[in-house]
Structure 1
Amino acid sequence: MNDALSHAYPSPASPAPGVAPAPGAGDRAFAEGVALATPGARIMAVTSGKGGVGKTFVSANLAAALTRRGHRVLVLDADLGLANLDVVLNLHPKITLHDVFTGKAQLEDAVIQAPGGFSVVLAGSGMVEYSRLTPTVRNEFLNVIQTLAPRYDVVLLDTGAGISDVVLFSVSLASEVLIVATPEPTSLTDAYAAIKVLATQQKRQQMRLVVNQTRRPGDGRAITGQLQQVLDRFVTTDTGRPVRLIHMGDIPTDTAVRDAIMRRQLLMLQMPGCPAALAIAQLAAKIDTALLERKSG
């Protein structure tokens, strides 16, 4: 694993792959996002540097686990152009965010109940007009968050992958960021790139990491430590302090995960005792203790 990881990070002389300063939108968005994150629910963005790492799977099952712990949970599909939360949950919504944004439906009608007892707002897939952060998309999305957040204890924003302006804006609305990565070198490279952009553009002092599809106990903690070393060396915020990366847990490789995905069922409902489901339950417990109990207290 160490040999593979040695190729996943940039050398001191080369920038992180894919990291290019966005045209100022991230800073402005974050300034608004901080104001939104204070009242109402605790807002957490679940994001990733690379697609295909299980981000939406984690979002949906984490929502079920947090609901089981007694919280009112909303999952908002913030991948506006390539939404797939409906596929993971086997839902067939009549109304999506596209209908709300175009004035064809009311926001309240777009909130539906998902298996697992939490609420979801789904986005239409394949909508090219939502692949860029236009003023309309920006304002409509802000309105959705402002309207719905006060009704819940926690809102999970299932963002797109990468560092596009739409993804950065979605993340900017959250007070907490959970990065999902796998042990694959490409996933770690892109996770580092995303963390770097969020630290420099949004002035994030800390972010949280969950490592999916681990093969051995302790892999995720070791990966987090190695990422932290690279961040300590190459990334600092305006305060001059390094970004803190908090290891939130590992989700082991588990055949039950593929089975649940193929059946389009929540793992937490289908096989709650399997290793991956138990790991997600532990992740929910950590989030509950670190964020939600602190907020209520």
Structure 2
Amino acid sequence: MDQAEKLRSLIKQQNAPNQSARIITVTSGKGGVGKSSVTVNLSIALSRLGKRVIILDADFGLANVEVMLGIRPVYNLADLMFKGKNLSDIITRGPENIGFISGGSGIQELTNLTKDQIIYLIYKLAELDKIADIIVIDTGAGITDTVLEFASASSEILLVTTPEPTSITDAYALLKTLNRKSNFSADNTMIRVIANRITKDDNGEEIYKKLSVVSSKFLKLNLDYLGYIPMDYSVSKAVMRQLPVICVFPDSDFSRHISGIASKLCNTAPIINSSEKKGIAQLFYHLLKSRTRKGLE
């Protein structure tokens, strides 16, 4: 059995019934729209609903998730790949029993992995499918190669935008660029829109409709509206205290709406076609196929 066949066999084994975590990738067209805040607080809200949740911070340039959780991981993904650490070593426990994995430099170094290292990495990460119900991936902001690779490898994308015209334009630009990627499959991807920082003068559903109309007409992409989150100054207060909003201001408008979005997620189908993209092992298989120059075939 060659390496590629061995890897495909491993993926098939990990896709056994009830052994694949639901993967939710949170992204945005630009920075400063509250994407990481949505990731952290949504993860805690999902945990409160009885889900085992782990956050993977795939933004190696910044440490927003670390700051919002008020924790500093000892190890990251690179330590799993190159320093012999186990999966349990790189999972840091956060508030409300959520887990957190820092991508660190490991995300950037994925390109340089050998096929043996890729097999090892996917084998280790596949353990996440057995200990988590939901894995929430916080990507970097903007239209970077890493963001597009994670998005195209995912079956479920949460696209965070705000009422600002530049935010809506950049969100559409991300969808347009993503749609051009050869490994992106609209049939196997569910894209859900969250309108963040909505004021009394805004309408979250109208923002979604603007994106949905142009995406359907010009990109042939169907979007789903997950809901809106109101502008709430509790968010900045919580960030200053390095604690999640939902923990320190549980009765705030932000917390109530993020909890509603979590409930809606739990009550909707996670993916359209589960056979193509299922679980963290399958996601990294697709991701690394696009990252390595010679691929995995």
What interval of TM-score do these two structures reach, taking the shorter chain for normalisation? 0.7 to 0.9
Which residue, out of 204, 212, 225, partners 2:186?
Answer: 204
Matches within 5 A, 1:125-140: 127=105, 130-131=107-108, 134-136=111-113, 139=118
Q: Which runs of no fewer than 5 residues in structure 1 stay unpaired?
A: 1-30, 236-241
2:231 maps to 1:249: no
TM-score normalized with structure 1 length: 0.77
Which residue, out of 234, 253, 259, partners 2:218?
Answer: 234
Letter in 2 for 1:288: C
Q: Which moved more, 1:216-225 or 1:35-44?
A: 35-44
Which residue, out of 114, 138, 144, partners 2:94?
Answer: 114
Q: How far did 1:148 drift?
A: 1.2
Q: How far did 1:189 drift?
A: 1.2
Q: Which moved more, 1:40-49 or 1:205-214?
A: 205-214
Measured in 2, the distance between the counterparts of 1:142 and 1:161 equals 25
Q: How far did 1:105 drift?
A: 2.5
2:266 maps to what in 1? 288
| Conserved? CA contact 1:37–1:174, under 8 Å | no
Matches within 5 A, 1:15-164: 39-103=19-83, 105-124=85-104, 127=105, 130-131=107-108, 134-136=111-113, 139=118, 142-143=122-123, 145-164=125-144
SS at 2:126 equivalent: helix
Q: How far did 1:146 drift?
A: 2.4
TM-score normalized with structure 2 length: 0.77
| Conserved? CA contact 1:64–1:268, under 8 Å | yes
| Conserved? CA contact 2:30–2:143, under 8 Å | no
2:197 maps to 1:213: yes
| Conserved? CA contact 1:132–1:166, under 8 Å | no
2:174 maps to 1:194: yes
SS at 2:267 equivalent: helix
Residues 54/244 of structure 1: CA separation in 2 closer, same or farther (3 Å cut): same
Q: Deviation digits for residues 35-67 of structure 1, max 9, x if unmatched?
A: 888851111101111111111111110010000
Residues 204/244 of structure 1: CA separation in 2 closer, same or farther (3 Å cut): same
2:279 maps to what in 1? none
Q: How far did 1:183 drift?
A: 1.1
Measured in 1, the distance between the counterparts of 2:124 and 2:175 equals 26
2:229 maps to 1:261: no
1:27 maps to what in 2? none
Q: Which moved more, 1:209-218 or 1:260-269?
A: 209-218
Which residue, out of 150, 153, 156, partners 1:170?
Answer: 150
Letter in 2 for 1:100: L
Letter in 2 for 1:204: A
Q: Which runs of no fewer than 5 residues in structure 2 stay unpaired?
A: 1-7, 275-297
Measured in 2, the distance between the counterparts of 1:268 and 1:291 equals 25
User: Cα RMSD over matched residues?
Assistant: 2.8
Equivalenced residue count is: 254
Measured in 2, the distance between the counterparts of 1:142 and 1:225 equals 38
SS at 1:265 equivalent: coil
Measured in 1, the distance between the counterparts of 2:74 and 2:91 equals 11
| Conserved? CA contact 1:57–1:88, under 8 Å | yes
Q: Percent identity?
A: 35
